[in-house]
């Protein structure tokens, strides 16, 4: 599937298997896992992880936005498209069971991996909360928290 996609082909155009959606999601996660520099740069991990402890959702989004807007523009563009897609995916959660929480659990470890020197279990819950917030809110700018 990866080879076909990289060759400009549509690897699922002639398939009608419902499992293909899982393959596409797996391929998307694979691309993000294989990036030399993760989508969320490691140097902002600690600041983002702390945001999960902000109880007021508007304050949390504002703080996350402040952190995110300081990363390179090329990364912001990818984030905008990705979170727009993930938000669209969650809009159909009645059919696909992928609400903001499930998307965060699925994509959080790939997009914002917990550093080895951190408590993996405790930090992963916070990572999922950051990804969930980014996926379920749509501010006036129409670009989620990015």
If one looks up domain 36-136 in CATH, what number appears?
1.10.555.10
Residue 113 main-chain phi, psi, to 5 deg: -65, 140
Three-state DSSP class for residue 118 = coil
| Per-residue pLDDT at 122 | 86
Instruction: Walk along the chain (146 residues) and give the pLDDT tens digit of each residue.
Output: 888 888 888 877 776 665 567 778 888 999 999 999 889 999 999 999 999 999 998 899 899 989 998 999 999 999 988 988 888 888 888 988 889 899 999 999 999 999 999 998 889 999 999 998 876 655 444 445 54
Give pTM, 2 decimals. Answer: 0.79
N residues, the chain: 146
Q: What are the angstrom distances between the C-alpha of 79 and each of 24, 55, 68, 74?
A: 18, 24, 10, 9
Q: Give Cα 135 to chain centroid, integer Å.
A: 7
| Per-residue pLDDT at 128 | 92
How far is the C-alpha of 95 from the C-alpha of 103, rounded, in Å? 14
What ranges do the domains of the chain cover?
A: 1-34, 36-136
| Per-residue pLDDT at 13 | 73
| Per-residue pLDDT at 143 | 43
Cα end-to-end span (Å), the chain: 30
């Amino acid at each position: 599937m990866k080879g076909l996609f990289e060759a400009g082909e549509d690897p699922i155009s002639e398939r009608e298997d419902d499992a293909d959606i899982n393959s596409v999601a797996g391929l998307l996660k694979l691309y993000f896992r294989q990036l030399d520099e993760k989508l969320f740069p490691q140097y902002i991990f600690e600041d983002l992880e702390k945001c999960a402890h902000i109880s007021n959702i508007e304050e949390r989004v504002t703080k996350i936005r402040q952190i995110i807007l300081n990363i390179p523009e090329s990364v912001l563009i990818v984030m905008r498209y990705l979170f727009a897609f993930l938000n669209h995916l969650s809009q159909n959660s009645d059919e696909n069971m992928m609400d903001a929480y499930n998307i965060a659990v699925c994509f959080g470890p790939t997009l914002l991996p917990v550093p080895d020197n951190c408590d993996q279990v405790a930090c992963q819950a916070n990572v999922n909360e950051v990804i969930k917030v980014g996926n379920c809110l749509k501010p006036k700018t129409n670009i989620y928290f990015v």
